[in-house]
Amino acid sequence: MIFAMLAGLVVLGGCVQFRPDNPPLVVNVKSDGDNCRVTVQREHFAQPAVFVRVNQGQLLEIGRQTKPRRAIVIFDVNAHYKCIGAAIVTLQEAGLAVESAMWDSR
């Protein structure tokens, strides 16, 4: 019984692909007054992380060029919903699967 369960886990584990060399595109969204501030992590392995400010057209182009085909949008709790939504829709338009997370910068 235990052997069968362990064998099943090994087989199932072989089906899952872990690719640490292909991290998702990381996008930060924040609001400065009525303006949206969207930044993108350009070099995934740079320490500390380096983010570059982009506009919507640049975000679309970066999204189309990124290889992992997935992105994480990290937004400030005080960010305008229009800014968050525009970033998510732009990345989806580029063909990426998008996840989101919130942080509180207060």
pLDDT for position 15: 54
pLDDT for position 63: 95
What are the sequence ranges of the domains in the chain? 19-103
pLDDT for position 91: 97
pLDDT for position 76: 93
Distance CA 31, CA 33 (A): 6
DSSP 23: P
The low-confidence residues of the chain, meaning pLDDT below 50, are 12
Token representation of residue 92: 């989806």
- Residue by residue, DSSP assigns 32-49 as ETTEEEEEEE--TT-SS-
pLDDT for position 104: 85
pLDDT for position 42: 78
Closest listed residue to residue 51, CA positions, set 61, 59, 40, 43: 40
pLDDT for position 22: 79
pLDDT for position 16: 52
pLDDT for position 50: 86
Fold designation for 19-103: Nucleotidyltransferase; domain 5 (3.30.420)
CB 59 within 8 A of CB 91: yes
